[in-house]
Copies of this chain bind each other. A is one copy, B any other.
Protein backbone atom coordinates (compact mmCIF):
# COMPACT_ATOMS: atom_id res chain seq x y z
CA UNK A 1 0.00 0.00 0.00
CA UNK A 2 1.42 3.36 -1.03
CA UNK A 3 0.78 6.34 1.19
CA UNK A 4 1.25 9.95 0.15
CA UNK A 5 1.12 13.27 1.89
CA UNK A 6 -0.04 16.49 0.23
CA UNK A 7 1.24 19.45 2.26
CA UNK A 8 0.40 23.08 1.68
CA UNK A 9 -0.79 26.35 3.17
CA UNK A 10 -4.26 26.05 1.63
CA UNK A 11 -5.12 29.60 2.73
CA UNK A 12 -7.65 28.96 1.24
CA UNK A 13 -7.79 25.83 -0.91
CA UNK A 14 -8.33 26.61 -4.62
CA UNK A 15 -9.72 24.56 -7.50
CA UNK A 16 -6.09 24.20 -8.58
CA UNK A 17 -5.23 22.47 -5.29
CA UNK A 18 -8.34 20.31 -5.50
CA UNK A 19 -7.45 19.17 -9.00
CA UNK A 20 -4.04 18.03 -7.74
CA UNK A 21 -5.65 16.45 -4.68
CA UNK A 22 -8.18 14.51 -6.77
CA UNK A 23 -5.54 13.17 -9.15
CA UNK A 24 -3.15 12.26 -6.30
CA UNK A 25 -5.96 10.38 -4.55
CA UNK A 26 -6.20 8.15 -7.63
CA UNK A 27 -2.46 7.46 -7.77
CA UNK A 28 -1.95 6.54 -4.12
CA UNK A 29 -3.78 4.19 -1.80
CA UNK A 30 -3.99 6.75 0.98
CA UNK A 31 -3.61 10.52 0.77
CA UNK A 32 -3.01 12.70 3.83
CA UNK A 33 -3.64 16.39 3.18
CA UNK A 34 -1.57 18.41 5.62
CA UNK A 35 -2.23 22.08 6.39
CA UNK A 36 1.11 23.76 7.09
CA UNK A 37 0.84 27.03 8.92
CA UNK A 38 3.68 29.42 8.08
CA UNK A 39 3.71 31.97 10.89
CA UNK A 40 5.69 34.41 8.74
CA UNK A 41 2.86 34.88 6.29
CA UNK A 42 -0.23 36.93 6.94
CA UNK A 43 -2.90 34.29 7.15
CA UNK A 44 -6.48 34.88 6.01
CA UNK A 45 -7.83 31.73 7.68
CA UNK A 46 -6.73 29.82 10.79
CA UNK A 47 -5.45 26.25 10.44
CA UNK A 48 -8.75 24.73 11.68
CA UNK A 49 -10.69 26.94 9.24
CA UNK A 50 -8.46 25.82 6.36
CA UNK A 51 -8.98 22.19 7.33
CA UNK A 52 -12.74 22.68 7.40
CA UNK A 53 -12.71 24.42 4.01
CA UNK A 54 -10.65 21.54 2.61
CA UNK A 55 -13.00 18.89 3.97
CA UNK A 56 -16.14 20.66 2.76
CA UNK A 57 -14.62 21.39 -0.65
CA UNK A 58 -13.58 17.74 -1.10
CA UNK A 59 -17.13 16.80 -0.26
CA UNK A 60 -18.65 19.50 -2.49
CA UNK A 61 -16.70 18.24 -5.51
CA UNK A 62 -17.37 14.59 -4.67
CA UNK A 63 -13.68 13.69 -4.65
CA UNK A 64 -13.33 10.06 -3.63
CA UNK A 65 -10.48 8.04 -2.20
CA UNK A 66 -8.93 7.40 1.19
CA UNK A 67 -8.24 11.01 2.09
CA UNK A 68 -7.56 12.54 5.50
CA UNK A 69 -7.11 16.22 6.36
CA UNK A 70 -5.07 17.43 9.31
CA UNK A 71 -2.72 20.23 10.38
CA UNK A 72 0.97 20.29 11.12
CA UNK A 73 1.14 21.78 14.58
CA UNK A 74 4.85 21.62 15.25
CA UNK A 75 8.15 20.30 13.90
CA UNK A 76 9.23 19.40 10.41
CA UNK A 77 6.73 18.41 7.77
CA UNK A 78 8.79 15.30 6.94
CA UNK A 79 8.57 14.17 10.57
CA UNK A 80 4.79 14.22 10.23
CA UNK A 81 5.16 12.39 6.92
CA UNK A 82 7.22 9.68 8.62
CA UNK A 83 4.65 9.30 11.42
CA UNK A 84 2.01 8.80 8.70
CA UNK A 85 4.24 6.17 6.98
CA UNK A 86 4.20 8.22 3.81
CA UNK A 87 6.23 7.06 0.79
CA UNK A 88 5.72 10.21 -1.20
CA UNK A 89 5.14 13.93 -0.83
CA UNK A 90 2.85 15.35 -3.52
CA UNK A 91 3.45 18.84 -4.89
CA UNK A 92 1.42 20.53 -7.62
CA UNK A 93 3.15 23.02 -9.86
CA UNK A 94 1.92 25.58 -12.32
CA UNK A 95 5.08 26.67 -14.09
CA UNK A 96 8.74 25.86 -14.37
CA UNK A 97 9.36 28.69 -11.91
CA UNK A 98 7.30 26.95 -9.21
CA UNK A 99 9.45 23.88 -9.64
CA UNK A 100 12.69 25.81 -9.35
CA UNK A 101 11.53 26.98 -5.95
CA UNK A 102 10.47 23.51 -4.84
CA UNK A 103 13.51 21.47 -5.94
CA UNK A 104 15.82 22.41 -3.01
CA UNK A 105 13.04 21.65 -0.52
CA UNK A 106 12.45 18.27 -2.18
CA UNK A 107 16.14 17.39 -1.97
CA UNK A 108 16.37 18.39 1.68
CA UNK A 109 13.22 16.45 2.48
CA UNK A 110 14.70 13.34 0.90
CA UNK A 111 17.93 13.80 2.85
CA UNK A 112 15.99 14.13 6.10
CA UNK A 113 13.50 11.33 5.61
CA UNK A 114 14.15 9.28 2.50
CA UNK A 115 10.69 10.29 1.29
CA UNK A 116 10.41 11.23 -2.37
CA UNK A 117 8.57 14.27 -3.69
CA UNK A 118 6.43 13.68 -6.76
CA UNK A 119 5.36 16.68 -8.81
CA UNK A 120 2.03 16.89 -10.62
CA UNK A 121 1.43 19.63 -13.22
CA UNK A 122 -1.62 21.84 -12.77
CA UNK A 123 -4.47 21.21 -15.14
CA UNK A 124 -4.23 23.89 -17.86
CA UNK A 125 -7.39 25.72 -16.79
CA UNK A 126 -6.04 26.11 -13.23
CA UNK A 127 -2.47 26.97 -14.10
CA UNK A 128 -2.75 30.57 -12.97
CA UNK A 129 -4.83 30.19 -9.82
CA UNK A 130 -3.09 30.72 -6.49
CA UNK A 131 -4.36 31.33 -2.97
CA UNK A 132 -2.64 34.69 -2.82
CA UNK A 133 -4.16 35.90 -6.10
CA UNK A 134 -7.60 34.68 -4.94
CA UNK A 135 -7.25 36.56 -1.66
CA UNK A 136 -6.03 39.71 -3.36
CA UNK A 137 -8.83 39.78 -5.95
CA UNK A 138 -11.52 38.88 -3.39
CA UNK A 139 -10.36 41.57 -0.97
CA UNK A 140 -10.77 44.18 -3.72
CA UNK A 141 -14.28 43.00 -4.55
CA UNK A 142 -13.46 40.92 -7.63
CA UNK A 143 -15.30 37.75 -8.60
CA UNK A 144 -13.32 34.62 -7.71
CA UNK A 145 -16.08 32.08 -8.27
CA UNK A 146 -14.16 30.37 -11.10
CA UNK A 147 -11.17 29.69 -8.88
CA UNK A 148 -12.66 28.25 -5.66
CA UNK A 149 -15.48 26.03 -4.48
CA UNK A 150 -18.82 27.48 -3.29
CA UNK A 151 -17.71 26.66 0.24
CA UNK A 152 -14.63 28.80 -0.05
CA UNK A 153 -16.48 31.53 -1.93
CA UNK A 154 -18.88 31.93 1.04
CA UNK A 155 -16.02 31.97 3.52
CA UNK A 156 -14.26 34.71 1.56
CA UNK A 157 -17.25 37.03 1.42
CA of A120 to CA of B118 in the docked complex: distance in angstroms?
A: 5
**How many A residues touch B, CB cutoff 8 Å?**
50
Bound Cα distance A107, B128 (Å): 7
* CB contact under 8 A between A104 and B76, given known A2-B2, A95-B96: no
**In the bound complex, what is the Cα–Cα distance between A27 and B76 (angstroms)?**
22
Chain B residues near A97 (CB, 8 Å)? 96-97, 100-101
Given contacts A99-B99, A107-B127, A118-B119, 14 further A-B contacts (CB under 8 A): A2-B28, A26-B87, A76-B142, A79-B141, A96-B103, A104-B128, A105-B133, A110-B123, A116-B120, A117-B120, A118-B120, A124-B124, A124-B125, A125-B125
A residues sitting closer than 8 Å to B (CB atoms) are: 2, 23, 26-29, 75-76, 78-79, 87-88, 93-97, 99-101, 103-108, 110-112, 116-121, 123-130, 133, 137, 140-143, 146
